[in-house]
Amino acid sequence: MIVDAIRTQLAPQQDDVLLDLACGNGALSQRLFETCAQFVGVDLSTYLIEVANEHFAQPPRVTFAACSAVDYLREETTPQRFTKVLCYGSFAYFSAEDARDSLQLLQDRFVNVDTIFIGNLPDRDRAEAFYAPRVPEAGELDDHCAQIGIWRSRATFAALARAAGWEATFSTMPSSFFSVHYRYDVTLRRIESRGASGASR
């Protein structure tokens, strides 16, 4: 179901260069290799990247790098080569600053990226469905180091994305998916200038 959701929302093509942020050990990533021309996976964990390199790397077409997402986005020397970006199950663990900066760096530096798919985000409007019967501790829903990371409502995430120049479209997994009752997915596309006046995005 996860792979189907990624393929449906990200719609990778054979000439795409795909960047997977917080890719973990590459087990999910490898299911997407055949859908694109090139693939780069990035994760903060050196150990997980060692696993990915051992089992899934196919250089130069498929490579993995041990680096935080935001540092990679700042330091990548040829950002224009990428066309699609994936971040599945990890964005909630980015600090508020890193989340904001990541979206802005993708907008400003990765100029040929037309679609970003961010999956498995915890929905603040449905937090009770996860935490019941207990009540979250003060500040827990805003802590990127907490069990589930930062909880954002769809409206909050849409505003975060729009501030960085992205239009958000939301979707959910099929009803049989184990966490569908408190999570959502989001697909981001660039906000284009509108009208002859050249309105700013």
Confidence of residue 196 (pLDDT cuts 50, 70, 90): very low
38 within domain boundaries:
yes
> Do 195 and 134 touch, CB atoms closer than 8 A?
no
> Do 36 and 29 touch, CB atoms closer than 8 A?
no
pLDDT of residue 197: 40
H helix runs in the chain, sequence order: 2-10, 46-55, 69-75, 96-108, 127-131, 154-163
In the chain, the percentage of residues whose pLDDT exceeds 90 is 92
Say how many C-beta atoms besides its own lie within 10 A of residue 145's C-beta: 8
Report the DSSP pairing between strands 17-21 and 84-88.
parallel
Query: How many domains does one find in the chain?
Result: 1
Q: What is the mean pLDDT of residues 92-113?
A: 98
Tokens 């971040």 found at:
87
198 within domain boundaries:
no
Confidence of residue 133 (pLDDT cuts 50, 70, 90): confident
> Taking 90 as the threshold, does the pLDDT of residue 179 lie above it?
yes
61 within domain boundaries:
yes
197 within domain boundaries:
no
8 within domain boundaries:
yes
195 within domain boundaries:
no
Could you tell me the CATH number of the domain that includes residue 99? 3.40.50.150
Sort residue 11 into left (φ over 0), alpha (ψ -120 to 50) or beta: left
pLDDT of residue 132: 85
7 within domain boundaries:
yes
> Taking 50 as the threshold, does the pLDDT of residue 131 lie above it?
yes
Q: What is the mean pLDDT of residues 186-200?
A: 67
Confidence of residue 192 (pLDDT cuts 50, 70, 90): confident
What are the tens digits of pLDDT across the range 17-70?
999 999 999 999 999 999 999 999 999 999 999 999 999 999 999 999 999 999
Query: In which domain, by residue range, is 176 found?
Result: 2-190
Q: Does the predicted TM-score (pTM) go above 0.85?
A: yes
> Taking 80 as the threshold, does the pLDDT of residue 16 lie above it?
yes
Average pLDDT, the chain: 94
